[in-house]
Structure 1
Amino acid sequence: MKKIIMTGGGSAGHVTPNLALVPKLKELGYEIEYIGTKDGIERKIIEDENIKYHAISSGKLRRYFDIKNFTDPFKVLRGILQAIVILKKEKPSIVFSKGGFVAVPVVIAAHLSKIPVIAHESDLTPGLANRLSAPYCTRVCVTFPESVKNIKDNKGVLTGTPIREELLKGSRILGRQICGFEDKKPVLLIIGGSLGSKFINDTIRKVIDKLIENYNIVHICGKGNIDKSLESRKSYKQFEYISEELPHVMNAADIVISRAGANAIFELLALRKPNLLIPLSKKSSRGDQILNAASFERSGYSLVIQEDDLNERILLEKLEELYGNKDKFVNKMSSSSIKNGVDNIIKLIQEHAI
């Protein structure tokens, strides 16, 4: 039996695409294990899937000055040594990395141990972790056609992003039942990322009474962001976070407001959901979501509001435009050549596993 060790962490976006590959890998007979950090978000997600988990040290990678920048390289070095010990003991045929700061020591350790590494970059431009890891990788999978040129040494392969099979099997009827929607108004789904977005939440709630005149709203607002004063409104359902119910809720949506993380927007593309993207601004990110959103806007899959431009008037105007032209967006997405990346990535894993 071949063994694969997966890695990636720091956010749900660095973990859930790994899980999309798991059913097919198990079907092919792979034994699956995971390397992550002791206290990272990845640990609970992976252990809930009953996958063997190994914890290592890892320093955070920063683009700004911080006193920890002087100590974290030693944590990375320690993580490399810990990963080498794990790899030597477990003897995987291949390592698959989804990025995030924990992936760097694992990828370097695999390279030193002469174990092939397949990495995946979701965003249009590589994140810092994947830029540091790329020289040690066998192949780097990318999601956007424009991204291949950003990967040096001809290692880039356009695969698309892996999407969980269960996400494509949701029930519209069950989704409306989960939210308690009884009338036939269209459903507006609002997703602010795995941690939610206070800025988007606040803007939505300022116009909530106008919105529920036309829509049933399901709002995934992030941990600690429930507004109890709005719980009496029948057309407004709030969740901090949902997991098992998500395929049904997403299937029930007629239109979606979302951040522009690559995993989220490619899920919307796969589900053919007309969407309004509000990417994180450069004030709080490296600008990757702005590029992701621009690519989708050029392709005709999305409308976009930059976070710095967001206000109640523009939000209402863009939503009216989106819903009024929803069939146009569905048609554009239906004609997209970008497919679920699971099979393409599995093929690479099969080709390079030793």
Structure 2
Amino acid sequence: MSNKKIIMTGGGTAGHVTPNIALVPKLKELGYEIQYIGTEHGIERKLIEAEKIKYHSISSGKLRRYFDVKNFTDPFKVIKGVFEAKSIIKKEKPAIVFSKGGFVSVPVVLGAYFNKIPIIIHESDITPGLANKISMPYATKICVTFEEAMDHVNKKKAVLTGSPIRSELFKGSKTKAKEFCKFKDDKPVILVTGGSLGSRIINECVREALQDLLKTFNVIHLCGKGNLDKSLNVVEGYAQFDYIKEQLSDLMQLADIVVSRAGSNTIFELLALKKPNILIPLSAKASRGDQILNAKSFNKSGYSKVIEEENLNALTLLEAIDEVNRDKETYIKNMSKSKQRDSLGKIIDLIESCKRK
């Protein structure tokens, strides 16, 4: 009988977990027993245990590109994590390990390699993160999300799959979203999100431009925990939330235009849903520049309008929204031509073909 056990890993941020979760329903349908290896207190634990998946925790240190005293102690945590992961994998005997990256994934990939278990790595960005860079030599196959990423990984191992999208995102209800936001008219809707933590600069610009925006649009503003402005609670046509999980698919369906950061998972969800969008990538000062490359790629393909964070203010935001609203049919047409179809199916096929029989 074919071994149908898979161990998944990835953590540190939600972006290293949600693509794994997107694969779960289909894997279960195919009869896989799914287990997960993450850190004791990482964001991945909460997200994975909510899915009722068996969770193993290991020690892991953060991998940094900059000087930090912890750079001297964390390698020992990583080594300890390798032995722990190796032991878990030896005991559980999975047919395959699927890694989404983040620092916890390095010990798991090495643990799988020492147990001679096939490994599939998924890289969301154009250039690999540090954890995936370390892990890639041990991988059987590497899933990449962008065509440009092929130039940064081993082409013999690379497969262009795109990013798996959670099926529930397609099942949202516009009616429920309208009721939830208490919108009383049928104006087009702008959804603004600055990521799970929110973005101070995006929040400030939206609020500064709000009076002008509300002349034409209703506005849904996901502003991040602790960033609500209670003085705006009574403004008609404006609905603000610090964080949304359950109703996100409804809000996405209702949105005509989305203003967002340029994290890979988010922008591929916008592409799959064909939502005209304005991307404001995290600046290179606050990141390794991956969002800037993501946004440039989507802009070049005609899927997105981009505002660099350094150029963001109320006026540039209003101008960009006006332009995208005017040309929204062109954006939708461009997104409809995308070859990034059925990412989930492609990755599942790869798991099926690479797993140890």
Separation in 2 of the partners of 1:210 and 1:106? 51
Show CA shifts across 1:204-258 (max 9, x none).
1112122112111111111111111111112111111111211111010000000
Alignment of 1:284-295 (within 5 A): 284-295=286-297
Residue number in structure 1 paired with 2:69: 67
Partner of 2:41, secondary structure, is coil
Residue number in structure 2 paired with 1:212: 214
Q: Is 1:49 aligned to 2:51, yes or no?
A: yes
- What letter corresponds to residue 133 of structure 1 in structure 2? S
Q: Aligned match of 2:248 in 241, 246, 249?
A: 246
Residue number in structure 2 paired with 1:90: 92
Separation in 2 of the partners of 1:153 and 1:338? 18
Residue number in structure 1 paired with 2:40: 38
- Return the offset for 1:153: 5.6
Alignment of 1:133-282 (within 5 A): 133-152=135-154, 154-282=156-284
Separation in 1 of the partners of 2:143 and 2:262? 19
Q: Is 1:131 aligned to 2:111, yes or no?
A: no
Deviates more, 1:148-157 or 1:185-194: 148-157
Partner of 2:179, secondary structure, is helix
Separation in 2 of the partners of 1:179 and 1:327? 25
Residue number in structure 1 paired with 2:122: 120
- What letter corresponds to residue 17 of structure 2 in structure 1? V
Does the CA-based 8 Å contact 1:11-1:194 persist in structure 2? no
Q: Aligned match of 1:348 in 340, 347, 350?
A: 350
Show CA shifts across 1:97-138 (max 9, x none).
001111011001110111111010111111111101101111
Does the CA-based 8 Å contact 1:149-1:156 persist in structure 2? no
Show CA shifts across 1:163-210 (max 9, x none).
001111212222222211120111000111121111111111112122
Q: TM-score, normalised by structure 2?
A: 0.97
Count the aligned residue pairs: 354
Q: Aligned match of 1:308 in 310, 315, 327?
A: 310
Q: TM-score, normalised by structure 1?
A: 0.98
Residue number in structure 1 paired with 2:4: 2
Partner of 1:101, secondary structure, is coil
- Return the offset for 1:149: 2.3
Q: Is 1:298 aligned to 2:300, yes or no?
A: yes
Separation in 1 of the partners of 2:61 and 2:255? 39
Percent of paired sites with the same residue: 61
Gaps of 5+ in 2: none
Partner of 1:315, secondary structure, is helix
Separation in 1 of the partners of 2:175 and 2:50? 27
Partner of 1:154, secondary structure, is coil
- What letter corresponds to residue 271 of structure 2 in structure 1? L
Residue number in structure 2 paired with 1:27: 29
Separation in 1 of the partners of 2:187 and 2:150? 42
Residue number in structure 1 paired with 2:105: 103
CA-based RMSD of the aligned residues comes to 0.9
Does the CA-based 8 Å contact 1:101-1:129 persist in structure 2? yes
Separation in 1 of the partners of 2:201 and 2:114? 44
Separation in 1 of the partners of 2:341 and 2:315? 35
Gaps of 5+ in 1: none
- What letter corresponds to residue 279 of structure 2 in structure 1? L
Does the CA-based 8 Å contact 1:167-1:247 persist in structure 2? yes
- Return the offset for 1:285: 0.3
Q: Aligned match of 2:327 in 325, 328, 331?
A: 325
Does the CA-based 8 Å contact 1:270-1:340 persist in structure 2? no
